[in-house]
Amino acid sequence: MKDYTQLTKNRFERKFAISKLSTQEIEMVVKRNSAFFSEIFKQRYINNIYLDTPNLTFFFDNNIGKSNRIKIRIRWYGDMFSLIAHPILEFKIKEGAVGSKLSFPLKAFNLDKDFTISSLKQVFHNSDLPQWVLNQLEVVEPTLLNRYKRKYFRSFNKDYRLTIDSEIKYTNIAARINSLSQTRNEETDDIVVELKYDVEKDSFAHLITNQFPFRLTKNSKYVNGISKFRTNLAL
């Protein structure tokens, strides 16, 4: 049997995109919440390579808020350009506002300016992936690389997790170039807060969010990144 993990419980991810407060100010708001959030992990950098069809099916589905939608990405932690020892292939699946995730370990690989899309496909074939996953990967290609710093918090009752993402950077990946050597980069000052919890805890979530001075938003780093580089898309 193939080695993969599944987020067994469907969960909500409530997002807040904030542009007028600093990370320190946001963290102060979070810690003052009556849910008594406290930091649970050391902050770390998260890197993602997003994959999509040539006509950006996943981008458009997520941008219009299609009820059933998917994102495919490769995630790792730490340095962006280096030997990536523990990359994870993730399928993020949304049905309405409820999400789940499938995660598959990939073989280690080096990401540098000479890395090509062709070599990424070789990583897939060298990894122990189920056939249906390989079939899906045959029809997608890398479209975006992004990176951000994340801090982790959990409520006192351990029912709610909260993350603060800052230093969000995007790097365009163009299939016609087949390389990271000629890419455009964009950085944003926006900070994203996400509140994450199991479906059965939804009835109490408003008691937390109502205390925040920021507004709930529809926010996707993938959609934001693609929109920065492909300004001619008809939305």
Question: How confident is the model over 109-132, as pLDDT tens digits?
Answer: 999 877 888 889 999 999 999 999
Question: How confident is the model over 5-32, as pLDDT tens digits?
Answer: 655 568 999 999 998 899 999 999 999 9
Q: How confident is the model at residue 1 (pLDDT cuts 50, 70, 90)?
A: very low
Decide if pLDDT at 168 tops 50. Answer: yes
Average pLDDT along the chain: 90
Give pLDDT, residue 213. 94
In this structure, what CATH number is given to the domain that contains residue 173? 2.40.320.10
| Alpha-carbon distance values, 7 to 90, 98, 196 (Å) | 11, 12, 13
Question: How many structural domains is the chain composed of?
Answer: 1
The DSSP output letter for 9 is S
Q: How confident is the model at residue 138 (pLDDT cuts 50, 70, 90)?
A: very high
DSSP letters spanning 46-88:
EEEEEEE-TT-HHHHHHHHT-SEEEEEEEEEES-SSSEESS-E
Is there a domain that residue 235 lies in? no
Residue 220 structural domain: 5-229
Give pLDDT, residue 219. 87
Structure-model confidence comparison of residues 231 and 71, the more confident one:
71
Decide if pLDDT at 179 tops 50. Answer: yes
Is there a domain that residue 234 lies in? no
Decide if pLDDT at 92 tops 70. Answer: yes
CA proximity to 173, closest of 47, 61, 76 = 47
Question: How confident is the model over 34-87, as pLDDT tens digits?
Answer: 999 999 989 999 999 999 999 999 999 999 888 899 999 999 999 998 899 999
Tell me, what amino acid is at 123?
V
